[in-house]
């Protein structure tokens, strides 16, 4: 996939340092909510996890109650109740069979861990979203009902192009809505869902390396001192 520069890849886009851009995560969540959530769940994420994106407790409560969570009523019958911050984002379909029945036989996977499940996942999701092409190469024949997208493993994907036009989503923060912006923002958001502790992992790693370097220097200096008299 195309190598993009991501804030969470830090200095030199090397991936050693880096922090998420909170505003971008919020925009990515908006794209997920308004577009992707029609078909894909993020069932590993709890509403209260959104605090890490900078949402307030009241905002999180409002998001949670807008979702119906499967539940059981007093008579033991399945029902739904309003979401609370402790709930996870619900599944879109109760199970895979129901999803395939509604999606022409295709299965829209849960996106929580997608950027980890695919190699170079953030760039992959970004390229996939922008990678639909109208012209199918002459050597290939498009199967009925599938879309040509060279980034997908089989080149033909059942997902209709989800980011079809600029201004499809009106950003709450006033950022101009373009397909490129939506793709970058939602890919960043899905990187966070897959690795919410990315920032802590990186800062701990950098601190550990600095600590080990100092320890090595001290070790070397004491070695010099201890053996100074031995010729
Ligand atoms: C598959 C992302 C919106 C239906 C996928 C995959 C990703 C993805 C990463 C998996 C590709 C793979 O397996 O490597 C997104 C994102 C969306 C979005 C980020 C929003 C911007 C939608 C919508 C629908 C949909 C709105 C339904 C209309 C599907 C289906 C598949 C799929 C059916 C399975 C494709 C196949 O196996 O051929 N999507 N999607 N997606 N998506 Fe989406």
**To the nearest 5 percent, what fractions of the chain are helix, strand and coil?**
45, 5, 50
Which pLDDT value is given to residue 231? 77
Backbone angles phi, psi at 157, to 5 degrees: -120, 145
Q: Is 205 helix (H, G, I), strand (E, B) or coil?
A: helix
Distance 147 CA to ligand 1 centre (A): 11
Q: Is 220 helix (H, G, I), strand (E, B) or coil?
A: helix
Atom 1, ligand 1: residue with shortest CA distance: 108
> CB-hemisphere CA count at 13 Å for 174?
0
Distance 71 CA to ligand 1 centre (A): 27
Which pLDDT value is given to residue 56? 97
Evaluate whether 187 touches 28 at the Cβ level (below 8 Å): yes
Residues lining ligand 1, Cβ inside 6 A = 31, 35-36, 38-40, 103, 106-109, 111, 114, 118, 125, 128-129, 157-160, 162-163, 186
Which pLDDT value is given to residue 142? 87
Which pLDDT value is given to residue 138? 93
- For ligand 1, what atom is nearest to the CA of residue 103? 33
Which pLDDT value is given to residue 134? 93
- For ligand 1, what atom is nearest to the CA of residue 104? 33
- For ligand 1, what atom is nearest to the CA of residue 187? 19
Distance 129 CA to ligand 1 centre (A): 9
Per-residue pLDDT of the chain (231 residues; tens, 9 = 90+): 999 999 999 999 999 999 999 999 999 999 999 999 999 999 999 999 999 999 999 999 999 999 999 999 999 999 999 999 999 999 999 999 999 999 999 999 999 999 999 999 999 999 999 999 999 999 999 899 999 999 999 999 999 999 999 999 999 999 999 999 999 999 999 999 999 999 999 999 999 999 999 999 999 999 999 999 997
Where are any strands of DSSP class E within 126-193? 147-148, 156-157
- For ligand 1, what atom is nearest to the CA of residue 118? 14
Alpha helices in the chain (DSSP H): 22-34, 57-65, 96-102, 114-117, 121-130, 179-194, 198-226
Tokens of 147: 């879309």
Tokens of 80: 């739904």
Atom 15, ligand 1: residue with shortest CA distance: 36
Q: What are all long-range contacts of 68-73, with beta carbons under 8 Å and residues at least 24 apart? A: 70/94
Which pLDDT value is given to residue 191? 98
Q: What distance in Å separates the CA atoms of residue 30 and residue 189, rounded to the nearest whole number? A: 9
Residue with tokens 């909510």: 33
Q: What distance in Å separates the CA atoms of residue 148 and residue 31, rounded to the nearest whole number? A: 23
Atom 40, ligand 1: residue with shortest CA distance: 36
- For ligand 1, what atom is nearest to the CA of residue 160? 28
Atom 10, ligand 1: residue with shortest CA distance: 109
């Amino acid at each position: 996939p195309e190598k993009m520069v991501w804030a969470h890849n830090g200095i030199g886009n090397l991936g050693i340092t880096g922090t998420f851009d909170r505003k971008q995560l919020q925009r990515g969540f908006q794209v997920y909510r308004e577009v992707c959530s029609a078909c894909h769940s993020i069932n590993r994420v709890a509403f209260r996890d959104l605090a890490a994106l900078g949402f307030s407790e009241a905002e999180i409560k409002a998001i949670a109650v807008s979702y119906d969570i499967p539940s059981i009523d007093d008579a033991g019958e399945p029902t739904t109740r309003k979401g609370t911050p402790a709930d996870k984002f619900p599944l879109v379909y109760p199970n895979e069979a129901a999803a395939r029945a509604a999606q022409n036989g295709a299965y829209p996977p849960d996106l929580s861990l997608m950027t980890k499940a695919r190699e170079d996942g953030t760039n992959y999701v970004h390229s996939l979203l922008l990678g639909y092409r109208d012209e199918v190469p002459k050597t290939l024949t498009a199967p009925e009902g599938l879309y040509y997208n060279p980034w997908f493993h089989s080149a033909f994907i059942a997902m209709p192009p989800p980011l079809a036009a600029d201004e499809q989503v009106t950003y709450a923060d006033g950022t101009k809505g373009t397909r490129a912006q939506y793709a970058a923002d939602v890919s960043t958001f899905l990187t966070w869902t897959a690795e919410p502790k990315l920032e802590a992992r990186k800062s701990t790693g950098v601190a550990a390396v600095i600590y080990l370097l100092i320890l090595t220097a001290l070790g070397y200096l004491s070695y010099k001192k201890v053996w100074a008299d031995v010729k």
